[in-house]
Amino acid sequence: MSKVIVIGAGPAGMMAALQAAKKHEVILLDGNERIGKKLFITGKGRCNVTNAKDISEFFEYISGNPHFLYSSLYSFTNDDTMNFFEGEGIKLKVERGDRVFPESDKSSDIIRGLSNALSRTKVKIRLNSKVTNVKFKDKKITALEINNDEILSGDYFIIATGGATYPLTGSKGEGQKFANMLGHNIIPLTPALVPIEVKDAKTKELMGLSLKNVEVTIKENNKAIIYKNFGEMLFTHFGVSGPLILSGSRFIKKGKNYSLHIDLKPALNLGELDKRIQKDFSKYLNKDFKNSLDELLPQKLIPMVIEMARISENKKVNEITKEERKNLVNVIKNLTFDIKGLRPLDEGIVTAGGVDIKEIDPSTMKSRIIDNLSFAGEVMDVDAFTGGYNVQIAFSTGFISGSNI
Protein backbone atom coordinates (compact mmCIF):
# COMPACT_ATOMS: atom_id res chain seq x y z
CA MET A 1 0.00 0.00 0.00
CA SER A 2 1.37 3.37 -1.05
CA LYS A 3 0.70 6.83 0.30
CA VAL A 4 -1.06 8.78 -2.48
CA ILE A 5 -1.51 12.53 -2.28
CA VAL A 6 -4.11 14.17 -4.53
CA ILE A 7 -3.83 17.93 -4.98
CA GLY A 8 -7.21 19.55 -5.63
CA ALA A 9 -10.65 18.52 -4.34
CA GLY A 10 -12.64 19.32 -7.47
CA PRO A 11 -14.50 16.64 -9.45
CA ALA A 12 -11.28 15.26 -10.98
CA GLY A 13 -9.40 15.16 -7.68
CA MET A 14 -12.27 13.65 -5.73
CA MET A 15 -12.82 10.89 -8.28
CA ALA A 16 -9.07 10.19 -8.42
CA ALA A 17 -8.97 9.92 -4.62
CA LEU A 18 -11.94 7.56 -4.57
CA GLN A 19 -10.31 5.19 -7.03
CA ALA A 20 -6.85 5.33 -5.49
CA ALA A 21 -8.33 4.64 -2.04
CA LYS A 22 -9.38 1.15 -3.17
CA LYS A 23 -5.73 0.06 -2.91
CA HIS A 24 -3.83 2.82 -1.17
CA GLU A 25 -3.79 5.31 1.68
CA VAL A 26 -5.02 8.60 0.21
CA ILE A 27 -4.73 12.20 1.34
CA LEU A 28 -6.84 14.74 -0.58
CA LEU A 29 -5.56 18.31 -0.30
CA ASP A 30 -7.39 21.53 -1.10
CA GLY A 31 -6.60 25.15 -0.33
CA ASN A 32 -10.27 26.03 0.10
CA GLU A 33 -12.42 25.70 3.20
CA ARG A 34 -14.61 23.04 1.55
CA ILE A 35 -14.45 20.44 -1.19
CA GLY A 36 -15.95 21.01 -4.64
CA LYS A 37 -16.01 24.80 -4.42
CA LYS A 38 -16.06 25.33 -8.19
CA LEU A 39 -18.44 22.41 -8.68
CA PHE A 40 -20.80 24.14 -6.26
CA ILE A 41 -21.33 27.06 -8.67
CA THR A 42 -21.44 25.16 -11.97
CA GLY A 43 -24.68 25.28 -13.91
CA LYS A 44 -25.69 28.42 -11.98
CA GLY A 45 -25.60 26.41 -8.77
CA ARG A 46 -27.54 23.48 -10.22
CA CYS A 47 -24.46 21.46 -11.32
CA ASN A 48 -24.69 20.14 -14.87
CA VAL A 49 -22.97 16.93 -13.82
CA THR A 50 -22.70 15.22 -17.23
CA ASN A 51 -24.51 14.80 -20.55
CA ALA A 52 -26.81 11.92 -21.46
CA LYS A 53 -25.74 11.63 -25.12
CA ASP A 54 -24.13 8.40 -26.23
CA ILE A 55 -20.50 8.55 -25.14
CA SER A 56 -19.41 8.21 -28.79
CA GLU A 57 -20.98 11.61 -29.48
CA PHE A 58 -19.00 13.40 -26.76
CA PHE A 59 -15.96 13.89 -28.96
CA GLU A 60 -17.89 16.23 -31.25
CA TYR A 61 -18.27 18.58 -28.29
CA ILE A 62 -14.66 18.45 -27.11
CA SER A 63 -12.66 21.24 -28.70
CA GLY A 64 -9.36 20.64 -26.92
CA ASN A 65 -7.63 17.35 -27.82
CA PRO A 66 -10.60 14.97 -28.02
CA HIS A 67 -8.56 11.96 -29.17
CA PHE A 68 -6.46 12.09 -26.01
CA LEU A 69 -9.63 11.42 -23.99
CA TYR A 70 -10.81 8.20 -25.69
CA SER A 71 -9.39 5.86 -23.04
CA SER A 72 -10.64 7.84 -20.06
CA LEU A 73 -14.13 8.54 -21.41
CA TYR A 74 -14.68 4.91 -22.37
CA SER A 75 -13.20 3.69 -19.06
CA PHE A 76 -15.58 5.82 -17.02
CA THR A 77 -18.54 6.91 -19.13
CA ASN A 78 -21.41 9.30 -18.55
CA ASP A 79 -23.53 6.26 -17.66
CA ASP A 80 -20.98 5.40 -14.98
CA THR A 81 -21.22 8.95 -13.63
CA MET A 82 -25.01 8.78 -13.46
CA ASN A 83 -24.93 5.33 -11.87
CA PHE A 84 -22.40 6.56 -9.32
CA PHE A 85 -24.60 9.41 -8.10
CA GLU A 86 -27.82 7.44 -8.19
CA GLY A 87 -25.99 4.80 -6.16
CA GLU A 88 -25.31 7.52 -3.60
CA GLY A 89 -29.03 8.28 -3.47
CA ILE A 90 -28.87 11.39 -5.69
CA LYS A 91 -31.72 11.38 -8.19
CA LEU A 92 -30.91 12.88 -11.58
CA LYS A 93 -32.89 14.34 -14.47
CA VAL A 94 -32.16 15.04 -18.14
CA GLU A 95 -33.00 18.44 -19.63
CA ARG A 96 -32.69 20.20 -22.98
CA GLY A 97 -29.56 19.30 -24.90
CA ASP A 98 -29.29 16.07 -22.86
CA ARG A 99 -27.83 18.00 -19.93
CA VAL A 100 -27.96 16.03 -16.68
CA PHE A 101 -28.74 17.76 -13.36
CA PRO A 102 -29.63 16.60 -9.85
CA GLU A 103 -33.41 16.36 -9.59
CA SER A 104 -33.26 18.83 -6.69
CA ASP A 105 -31.45 21.45 -8.83
CA LYS A 106 -28.91 21.72 -6.00
CA SER A 107 -25.19 21.27 -6.68
CA SER A 108 -24.79 20.63 -2.96
CA ASP A 109 -26.44 17.24 -3.49
CA ILE A 110 -23.74 16.25 -5.99
CA ILE A 111 -21.03 17.33 -3.56
CA ARG A 112 -22.79 15.46 -0.76
CA GLY A 113 -22.70 12.28 -2.84
CA LEU A 114 -18.97 12.65 -3.42
CA SER A 115 -18.36 13.54 0.22
CA ASN A 116 -20.21 10.44 1.44
CA ALA A 117 -18.20 8.23 -0.89
CA LEU A 118 -14.90 9.81 0.23
CA SER A 119 -15.84 9.25 3.86
CA ARG A 120 -16.80 5.64 3.23
CA THR A 121 -13.51 4.88 1.46
CA LYS A 122 -11.56 6.55 4.29
CA VAL A 123 -9.94 9.24 2.16
CA LYS A 124 -8.27 11.73 4.49
CA ILE A 125 -9.40 15.22 3.43
CA ARG A 126 -7.27 18.18 4.38
CA LEU A 127 -8.85 21.57 3.71
CA ASN A 128 -7.17 24.98 3.92
CA SER A 129 -4.04 23.14 2.84
CA LYS A 130 -2.49 25.09 0.01
CA VAL A 131 0.46 23.49 -1.78
CA THR A 132 3.14 26.17 -1.98
CA ASN A 133 6.07 24.16 -3.34
CA VAL A 134 6.95 20.76 -4.77
CA LYS A 135 10.19 19.00 -3.89
CA PHE A 136 11.61 16.45 -6.35
CA LYS A 137 14.76 14.50 -7.12
CA ASP A 138 15.80 11.99 -9.79
CA LYS A 139 12.50 12.16 -11.75
CA LYS A 140 10.43 11.68 -8.59
CA ILE A 141 8.46 13.98 -6.33
CA THR A 142 9.64 13.51 -2.75
CA ALA A 143 7.38 15.88 -0.81
CA LEU A 144 5.03 18.86 -0.91
CA GLU A 145 5.30 22.08 1.03
CA ILE A 146 1.94 23.02 2.57
CA ASN A 147 1.05 26.59 3.53
CA ASN A 148 4.76 27.52 3.38
CA ASP A 149 5.49 25.80 6.71
CA GLU A 150 4.77 22.05 6.54
CA ILE A 151 6.48 19.28 4.60
CA LEU A 152 4.23 16.41 3.52
CA SER A 153 5.89 13.35 1.98
CA GLY A 154 4.23 10.68 -0.14
CA ASP A 155 4.85 7.86 -2.58
CA TYR A 156 2.62 9.00 -5.44
CA PHE A 157 1.04 12.30 -6.44
CA ILE A 158 -1.90 13.39 -8.59
CA ILE A 159 -2.26 17.02 -9.68
CA ALA A 160 -5.93 17.90 -10.21
CA THR A 161 -5.91 21.63 -9.50
CA GLY A 162 -8.09 22.75 -12.43
CA GLY A 163 -7.49 25.62 -14.81
CA ALA A 164 -7.10 29.35 -14.20
CA THR A 165 -10.73 30.48 -14.38
CA TYR A 166 -12.83 31.38 -11.35
CA PRO A 167 -9.77 32.29 -9.24
CA LEU A 168 -11.98 32.89 -6.18
CA THR A 169 -12.63 29.13 -6.13
CA GLY A 170 -8.90 28.44 -5.94
CA SER A 171 -8.26 27.79 -9.66
CA LYS A 172 -5.29 30.05 -10.33
CA GLY A 173 -3.14 27.94 -12.64
CA GLU A 174 -0.85 26.82 -9.83
CA GLY A 175 -0.94 23.17 -10.86
CA GLN A 176 0.40 24.16 -14.26
CA LYS A 177 3.21 26.11 -12.57
CA PHE A 178 4.17 23.07 -10.49
CA ALA A 179 4.10 20.84 -13.58
CA ASN A 180 6.33 23.29 -15.43
CA MET A 181 8.75 23.35 -12.52
CA LEU A 182 8.89 19.55 -12.77
CA GLY A 183 9.86 19.77 -16.44
CA HIS A 184 6.49 19.64 -18.21
CA ASN A 185 5.69 21.90 -21.14
CA ILE A 186 2.66 24.12 -20.54
CA ILE A 187 0.42 25.17 -23.41
CA PRO A 188 -0.42 28.86 -22.71
CA LEU A 189 -3.59 29.29 -20.66
CA THR A 190 -6.43 31.11 -22.40
CA PRO A 191 -10.18 31.33 -21.69
CA ALA A 192 -12.04 28.58 -23.59
CA LEU A 193 -15.61 29.41 -22.61
CA VAL A 194 -15.87 33.11 -21.90
CA PRO A 195 -18.20 36.04 -22.69
CA ILE A 196 -17.47 38.19 -25.75
CA GLU A 197 -17.02 41.95 -25.88
CA VAL A 198 -18.44 43.84 -28.86
CA LYS A 199 -17.44 47.26 -30.20
CA ASP A 200 -20.95 48.73 -30.34
CA ALA A 201 -21.52 50.49 -27.02
CA LYS A 202 -25.27 50.55 -27.67
CA THR A 203 -25.50 46.91 -26.62
CA LYS A 204 -25.39 48.26 -23.05
CA GLU A 205 -29.00 49.30 -23.62
CA LEU A 206 -29.83 45.63 -24.16
CA MET A 207 -28.18 44.47 -20.93
CA GLY A 208 -30.12 41.62 -19.35
CA LEU A 209 -32.01 40.73 -22.53
CA SER A 210 -32.05 36.97 -23.05
CA LEU A 211 -32.74 35.54 -26.50
CA LYS A 212 -33.92 31.97 -27.01
CA ASN A 213 -34.09 29.92 -30.18
CA VAL A 214 -31.73 32.16 -32.13
CA GLU A 215 -28.89 31.21 -34.46
CA VAL A 216 -25.46 32.72 -33.89
CA THR A 217 -22.70 32.82 -36.50
CA ILE A 218 -19.17 34.10 -35.92
CA LYS A 219 -17.20 35.11 -39.00
CA GLU A 220 -13.54 35.91 -39.50
CA ASN A 221 -12.93 39.02 -41.62
CA ASN A 222 -16.71 39.12 -42.16
CA LYS A 223 -16.40 36.17 -44.56
CA ALA A 224 -15.22 32.79 -43.28
CA ILE A 225 -17.65 31.13 -40.88
CA ILE A 226 -15.73 29.78 -37.86
CA TYR A 227 -18.75 28.97 -35.69
CA LYS A 228 -22.48 28.50 -36.13
CA ASN A 229 -25.03 27.18 -33.65
CA PHE A 230 -28.61 27.44 -32.40
CA GLY A 231 -29.79 28.10 -28.85
CA GLU A 232 -29.73 30.80 -26.16
CA MET A 233 -27.68 33.94 -25.59
CA LEU A 234 -27.68 37.00 -23.36
CA PHE A 235 -26.74 40.67 -23.74
CA THR A 236 -24.47 42.15 -21.04
CA HIS A 237 -23.00 45.56 -20.20
CA PHE A 238 -19.91 44.74 -22.29
CA GLY A 239 -21.38 42.61 -25.07
CA VAL A 240 -22.80 39.10 -25.13
CA SER A 241 -22.78 35.87 -23.12
CA GLY A 242 -24.90 32.75 -22.65
CA PRO A 243 -24.41 29.14 -23.86
CA LEU A 244 -24.21 29.97 -27.58
CA ILE A 245 -21.66 32.72 -27.05
CA LEU A 246 -19.51 30.79 -24.58
CA SER A 247 -19.14 27.90 -27.01
CA GLY A 248 -18.36 30.27 -29.88
CA SER A 249 -15.66 32.05 -27.89
CA ARG A 250 -13.48 28.93 -28.14
CA PHE A 251 -12.79 29.71 -31.80
CA ILE A 252 -11.73 33.33 -31.39
CA LYS A 253 -7.98 33.98 -31.54
CA LYS A 254 -6.07 37.11 -30.64
CA GLY A 255 -5.03 39.48 -33.40
CA LYS A 256 -7.80 38.60 -35.84
CA ASN A 257 -10.99 40.38 -36.88
CA TYR A 258 -14.34 38.76 -36.09
CA SER A 259 -17.99 39.68 -36.39
CA LEU A 260 -21.05 38.30 -34.61
CA HIS A 261 -24.22 37.63 -36.62
CA ILE A 262 -27.55 36.85 -34.93
CA ASP A 263 -30.50 35.37 -36.80
CA LEU A 264 -33.43 36.35 -34.60
CA LYS A 265 -35.89 34.19 -36.58
CA PRO A 266 -33.97 31.13 -37.81
CA ALA A 267 -37.17 29.11 -38.31
CA LEU A 268 -38.24 31.48 -41.12
CA ASN A 269 -36.44 32.08 -44.40
CA LEU A 270 -36.30 35.58 -45.90
CA GLY A 271 -39.55 35.17 -47.85
CA GLU A 272 -41.45 33.67 -44.92
CA LEU A 273 -40.27 36.41 -42.59
CA ASP A 274 -41.31 39.08 -45.08
CA LYS A 275 -44.80 37.59 -45.22
CA ARG A 276 -44.95 37.49 -41.42
CA ILE A 277 -43.99 41.17 -41.25
CA GLN A 278 -46.58 42.10 -43.87
CA LYS A 279 -49.19 40.25 -41.81
CA ASP A 280 -48.21 42.23 -38.70
CA PHE A 281 -48.13 45.48 -40.64
CA SER A 282 -51.68 44.90 -41.86
CA LYS A 283 -52.83 45.14 -38.22
CA TYR A 284 -51.08 48.46 -37.63
CA LEU A 285 -51.44 50.34 -40.92
CA ASN A 286 -52.03 53.72 -39.32
CA LYS A 287 -49.62 53.34 -36.43
CA ASP A 288 -46.04 54.57 -36.15
CA PHE A 289 -43.45 52.01 -37.25
CA LYS A 290 -41.95 51.84 -33.74
CA ASN A 291 -45.28 50.48 -32.44
CA SER A 292 -45.65 47.72 -35.04
CA LEU A 293 -43.01 45.20 -33.97
CA ASP A 294 -44.18 44.18 -30.50
CA GLU A 295 -45.42 40.76 -31.64
CA LEU A 296 -42.25 40.05 -33.58
CA LEU A 297 -39.39 41.18 -31.32
CA PRO A 298 -38.59 41.73 -27.64
CA GLN A 299 -39.45 45.31 -26.66
CA LYS A 300 -35.88 46.06 -25.58
CA LEU A 301 -34.51 45.10 -28.99
CA ILE A 302 -36.91 47.11 -31.17
CA PRO A 303 -35.11 50.51 -31.08
CA MET A 304 -31.80 48.96 -32.20
CA VAL A 305 -33.44 46.96 -35.00
CA ILE A 306 -35.25 50.09 -36.21
CA GLU A 307 -31.99 52.05 -36.25
CA MET A 308 -30.12 49.31 -38.11
CA ALA A 309 -32.96 49.01 -40.64
CA ARG A 310 -32.62 52.77 -41.32
CA ILE A 311 -36.37 53.42 -41.12
CA SER A 312 -37.77 56.43 -39.28
CA GLU A 313 -39.40 55.20 -36.09
CA ASN A 314 -42.24 57.71 -36.53
CA LYS A 315 -43.03 56.71 -40.09
CA LYS A 316 -46.53 55.35 -40.56
CA VAL A 317 -46.62 51.62 -41.27
CA ASN A 318 -48.67 52.14 -44.44
CA GLU A 319 -45.89 54.39 -45.79
CA ILE A 320 -43.07 51.85 -45.44
CA THR A 321 -41.71 50.84 -48.83
CA LYS A 322 -40.91 47.37 -50.08
CA GLU A 323 -37.18 48.26 -49.99
CA GLU A 324 -37.42 49.41 -46.36
CA ARG A 325 -39.26 46.22 -45.45
CA LYS A 326 -36.47 44.25 -47.14
CA ASN A 327 -33.91 46.10 -44.99
CA LEU A 328 -35.91 45.18 -41.88
CA VAL A 329 -35.98 41.50 -42.87
CA ASN A 330 -32.21 41.50 -43.46
CA VAL A 331 -31.52 43.09 -40.08
CA ILE A 332 -33.70 40.58 -38.23
CA LYS A 333 -32.01 37.71 -40.05
CA ASN A 334 -28.53 39.16 -39.65
CA LEU A 335 -28.17 41.42 -36.61
CA THR A 336 -24.44 42.17 -36.78
CA PHE A 337 -21.86 43.36 -34.25
CA ASP A 338 -18.09 43.71 -34.59
CA ILE A 339 -16.28 41.69 -31.95
CA LYS A 340 -13.81 43.59 -29.77
CA GLY A 341 -12.37 40.54 -28.04
CA LEU A 342 -12.82 38.08 -25.19
CA ARG A 343 -13.37 38.87 -21.53
CA PRO A 344 -10.43 38.13 -19.17
CA LEU A 345 -9.32 34.62 -18.28
CA ASP A 346 -10.66 34.92 -14.74
CA GLU A 347 -14.18 35.40 -16.15
CA GLY A 348 -14.00 32.22 -18.21
CA ILE A 349 -15.81 29.01 -17.33
CA VAL A 350 -13.13 26.69 -18.69
CA THR A 351 -9.43 27.10 -19.40
CA ALA A 352 -7.85 26.11 -22.71
CA GLY A 353 -4.20 25.16 -22.48
CA GLY A 354 -2.41 23.48 -19.62
CA VAL A 355 -0.04 20.55 -19.25
CA ASP A 356 0.95 19.34 -22.71
CA ILE A 357 -0.89 16.06 -23.41
CA LYS A 358 2.09 14.76 -25.41
CA GLU A 359 3.82 14.33 -22.05
CA ILE A 360 0.97 12.33 -20.48
CA ASP A 361 0.01 8.69 -21.11
CA PRO A 362 -3.67 8.82 -22.22
CA SER A 363 -4.40 5.30 -20.95
CA THR A 364 -3.24 6.01 -17.38
CA MET A 365 -2.88 9.82 -17.07
CA LYS A 366 0.69 9.21 -15.85
CA SER A 367 3.41 11.75 -16.50
CA ARG A 368 6.00 10.69 -19.07
CA ILE A 369 8.55 12.88 -17.28
CA ILE A 370 8.05 12.30 -13.53
CA ASP A 371 7.81 8.66 -12.41
CA ASN A 372 5.37 9.10 -9.52
CA LEU A 373 3.03 11.73 -10.93
CA SER A 374 -0.34 11.68 -12.69
CA PHE A 375 -2.75 14.38 -13.79
CA ALA A 376 -6.53 14.70 -13.89
CA GLY A 377 -8.99 17.24 -15.23
CA GLU A 378 -8.61 20.80 -16.44
CA VAL A 379 -4.97 21.15 -15.37
CA MET A 380 -4.25 19.39 -18.66
CA ASP A 381 -4.71 20.87 -22.13
CA VAL A 382 -8.25 19.52 -22.58
CA ASP A 383 -11.54 21.40 -22.75
CA ALA A 384 -15.05 21.08 -24.16
CA PHE A 385 -18.21 23.09 -24.82
CA THR A 386 -20.91 23.73 -22.25
CA GLY A 387 -23.41 20.96 -21.56
CA GLY A 388 -21.82 18.77 -18.88
CA TYR A 389 -18.90 17.63 -21.02
CA ASN A 390 -16.16 19.32 -18.98
CA VAL A 391 -17.37 17.87 -15.68
CA GLN A 392 -17.53 14.42 -17.29
CA ILE A 393 -13.94 14.84 -18.53
CA ALA A 394 -12.94 15.66 -14.95
CA PHE A 395 -14.62 12.52 -13.59
CA SER A 396 -13.27 10.29 -16.36
CA THR A 397 -9.66 11.46 -16.17
CA GLY A 398 -9.85 11.39 -12.37
CA PHE A 399 -11.10 7.80 -12.49
CA ILE A 400 -8.35 6.62 -14.80
CA SER A 401 -5.55 8.43 -12.94
CA GLY A 402 -6.64 7.07 -9.55
CA SER A 403 -7.16 3.54 -10.91
CA ASN A 404 -3.68 3.18 -12.38
CA ILE A 405 -1.38 3.70 -9.41
Q: What is the pLDDT along the chain (405 residues), one digit of tens a residue?
A: 899 999 999 999 999 999 999 999 999 999 999 999 888 888 778 999 999 999 999 999 998 899 999 999 999 999 999 999 999 999 999 998 999 999 999 999 999 999 999 999 999 999 999 999 999 999 999 999 999 999 999 999 999 999 877 666 666 789 999 999 999 999 999 888 899 999 988 888 999 999 999 999 999 998 899 999 999 999 999 999 998 999 999 899 888 999 999 999 999 999 999 999 999 999 888 899 999 999 999 999 999 999 999 999 999 999 999 999 999 999 999 999 999 999 988 888 888 999 999 999 999 999 999 999 999 999 999 999 989 999 999 999 999 999 999
Whether residues 184 and 263 fall in one domain: no
The parent domain of residue 158 ranges over 3-191+351-403
Whether residues 315 and 376 fall in one domain: no
Q: Domain ends where: 343, 370, 385?
A: 343
What is the rounded distance in angstroms from the CA atom of residue 34 to the CA atom of residue 12? 15
Residue type, 78: N
Whether residues 294 and 383 fall in one domain: no
Instruction: Kindly tell me the sign of the dihedral angle through the C-alpha atoms of 364, 368, 372, 377.
Output: negative
Q: Which helix (H) or strand (E) holds 323?
A: helix 322-333
Whether residues 299 and 382 fall in one domain: no
Beta bridge partners of 233: 211
What is the rounded distance in angstroms from the CA atom of residue 43 to the CA atom of residue 88? 21
Residue 357 near residue 374 (C-beta atoms within 8 A): no
What integer pLDDT is reported at residue 302 of this predicted model?
95
Closest CA to 157 of 146, 143, 147: 143
Return all residues near 285 (Cβ < 8 A) that are at least 6 apart. Answer: 316, 317, 318
Count of domains forming the chain:
2
Q: What is the CATH number of the domain that holds 77?
A: 3.50.50.60
Note the pTM of the prediction, 2 decimals: 0.87
Instruction: Kindly tell me the sign of the dihedral angle through the C-alpha atoms of 187, 144, 395, 49.
Output: negative
Whether residues 328 and 377 fall in one domain: no
Whether residues 20 and 107 fall in one domain: yes
Give backbone dihedrals phi and psi of 299, rounded to 5 degrees, phi first.
Answer: -55, -40
Whether residues 34 and 157 fall in one domain: yes
Whether residues 246 and 216 fall in one domain: yes
What is the rounded distance in angstroms from the CA atom of residue 143 to the CA atom of residue 136? 7
Cα-based torsion angle of the residue sequence 352, 368, 171, 79 in order, rounded to the nearest 10 degrees: 80
Q: What is the CATH number of the domain that holds 288?
A: 1.10.8.50
The two beta strands, 224-235 and 239-241, are antiparallel
Residue 365 near residue 401 (C-beta atoms within 8 A): yes
Q: Which helix (H) or strand (E) holds 153?
A: strand 150-153
Whether residues 10 and 122 fall in one domain: yes
Q: Domain ends where: 343, 359, 382?
A: 343
Whether residues 221 and 112 fall in one domain: no
Q: Domain ends where: 310, 327, 343?
A: 343
Whether residues 19 and 154 fall in one domain: yes
Whether residues 250 and 124 fall in one domain: no
Beta bridge partners of 94: 100
